[in-house]
Structure 1
């Protein structure tokens, strides 16, 4: 295995490559906390390479792995955005498979184990420090702090995808420059830009999910209910529709949510809708957007109660978020 590693002014440059399967397996086991990685040959001659440039807040990385790689991992300290330039990746998250379309980025799950299966990949990745991103979100919108969670099952809109690509394309040449590397102030500004793009581009979900290790038909129904809420929160749904999607009675759904999640279906629905309103107000452009229009579009008929709930969640009134947009 060949490895080049340099650190200067809190900026590191690392490149590793080779043709040995055992060395590759050891690298991904340690570098990406992949448990029991399983490497299988494909028609391609085996080789691999990984390169990373970055610092404490953000790093940009590429991986080439000409074989099959399967394993289970769990992210806790970094938000990782990845997209394939070649090859195939299938993720298994909460017993659901997600295949990545070529060139389409996804934010890997946080705080829960998931399985990955790569085949002959050439992959780009952005790693963002979790505390850095969440402090940025807290500074702008939630003084009490927040635990962010992104929804891997919801597709990006074409506009969101174009926006993310534009930001990464703009900062990458300067961030990766080895001849005239950016100083700490410039790197922080670029990390701010990418973190802001992460927050505005990728669909978020409430941090609510079934704790790991819980299995059984009732848990499957609770998961279906959660997914149904995230997919249909923009529609006029309530406990009746959610319970029907989960194949439970309304009373049974309430009891299951209390037992496994310590909340109610209505509270989850309200949380998801508040998050959606917050995203739209933050991203609003021009002077035609009103708080009332956005709130009503997401099912909030009583604007007084909506404003109180919004302020409780985000630490400011919705019209303050609208006025504070860039």
Structure 2
């Protein structure tokens, strides 16, 4: 993230100034401040088409917005979490996860105190052609999470984009190559939507789409719904102590049933899944913030024993944390 942190375009403790500046730079919106002291900072980098930001408010804040004008936003939580309500769908973007949003009607974001996120502004024109595209059509769904299995790939693409920003001044990239890479990054998002039928929806069709999406969870098996509740509980408490009994209560099943479900859907025991999610989040932070302190980051995620943490990290990623940092700074 160093190329972005080196270009701070706004910083202020005044809430009114933050509202005015962010409205002009990102999207027109309204803001409601909550707990904590405002310390708004916006860092920016720009390629040929894509704009990359790191944004933090300091305090807890709720942001409301309507439709975007010709672009989608990719939100990736770097620190803390963000709750997103877009056109009737609820998304929880835990630390290390990413979501794509392009509201047809209404957007609300709730950022926790101290939260920080990376935002990529992607023009619709980069997201690929569509057959019989009509005026007002939008190339991505109104809101969806980048899947857990694909998040490392998005992190790698983000690192490559940041690397282009960090290139020395005498490095001359081919304009055609830069555009190709930007389009490839955007296409990665549009082509990995949970349901391709969400793509190329006009604003007039959003009501039908929202109704269909809202009914989809009913089609999930009872076991899948219980497992999803357990996962949401894990993601919303990435820094807090969690026991197996806590997870079972969140999923509304017994500990034995949760163990069976977790092994069926994820191939591991519940506490191993929790550990893996936290290891993934640590890795995402190390890749995106090369100046991060490994020990402090591990402690934040509940790894109290450095040696045991390093062993678990190596077992999962086949490298030690400091090796991840070394690769991120190259």
Shorter-chain TM-score range: 0.5 to 0.7
Structure 1 residues 165 and 232 mapped into 2: Cα distance closer, same or farther (>3 Å)? farther
Larger Rg computed on CA atoms:
1
Q: Which moved more, 1:107-116 or 1:222-231?
A: 222-231
Structure 1 residues 186 and 92 mapped into 2: Cα distance closer, same or farther (>3 Å)? same
Q: Which moved more, 1:144-153 or 1:188-197?
A: 144-153
Query: What count of residue pairs does the alignment treat as equivalent?
Result: 207
Q: Matches of 2:179 and 2:193 in 1, distance apart?
A: 21
Q: Matches of 1:132 and 1:176 in 2, distance apart?
A: 22
Q: Matches of 1:162 and 1:200 in 2, distance apart?
A: 16
Name the structure 2 match of 1:111: 104
Residues 49 and 123, structure 2, Cα contact 8 Å, conserved in 1: yes
The 3-state SS of whatever aligns with 1:67 is coil
1:165 aligns with 2:168: no
Structure 1 residues 144 and 83 mapped into 2: Cα distance closer, same or farther (>3 Å)? closer
Name the structure 1 match of 2:64: 72
Structure 1 residues 181 and 48 mapped into 2: Cα distance closer, same or farther (>3 Å)? farther
Q: CA deviation digits over 1:64-123, x for unaligned, max 9?
A: 220122121132311110111112311122344322111111001333211111122211
Q: Matches of 1:172 and 1:68 in 2, distance apart?
A: 27
**Which stretches in structure 1 are left out of the alignment for 5+ residues?**
1-12, 234-326
1:29-178 equivalent positions in 2, closer than 5 A:
29-42=23-36, 45-55=37-47, 57-73=49-65, 74-119=67-112, 120-133=114-127, 136-138=128-130, 142=131, 147-150=138-141, 152-153=143-144, 155-177=145-167
TM-score by length of 2: 0.53
Q: Matches of 1:61 and 1:30 in 2, distance apart?
A: 14
The 3-state SS of whatever aligns with 2:104 is coil
Q: Matches of 1:175 and 1:182 in 2, distance apart?
A: 12
Q: Stretches of 4+ moved more than 6 A in 1?
A: none
Residues 100 and 146, structure 2, Cα contact 8 Å, conserved in 1: no
Residues 175 and 190, structure 1, Cα contact 8 Å, conserved in 2: no
Residues 75 and 98, structure 2, Cα contact 8 Å, conserved in 1: yes
The 3-state SS of whatever aligns with 2:141 is coil
Structure 1 counterpart of 2:13, from 12, 19, 24: 19
Name the structure 2 match of 1:228: 215
Name the structure 2 match of 1:200: 191
Q: Matches of 1:31 and 1:128 in 2, distance apart?
A: 14
Structure 1 residues 149 and 232 mapped into 2: Cα distance closer, same or farther (>3 Å)? farther
The 3-state SS of whatever aligns with 2:55 is strand
Q: Which moved more, 1:28-37 or 1:17-26?
A: 28-37
Q: Matches of 2:203 and 2:122 in 1, distance apart?
A: 25
* CA displacement at 1:39 relative to structure 2: 2.3
* CA RMSD of superposed structures (Å): 3.4
Structure 1 residues 35 and 128 mapped into 2: Cα distance closer, same or farther (>3 Å)? closer
**Which stretches in structure 2 are left out of the alignment for 5+ residues?**
1-6, 221-330
Q: Matches of 2:118 and 2:209 in 1, distance apart?
A: 34
> Quick one: higher RCO (CA 8 Å, sep 6+), 1 or 2?
2
TM-score by length of 1: 0.54
Q: CA deviation digits over 1:135-179, x for unaligned, max 9?
A: x334xxx375763122635x5443322222222222321234364
Q: Matches of 1:86 and 1:152 in 2, distance apart?
A: 21
* CA displacement at 1:22 relative to structure 2: 1.8
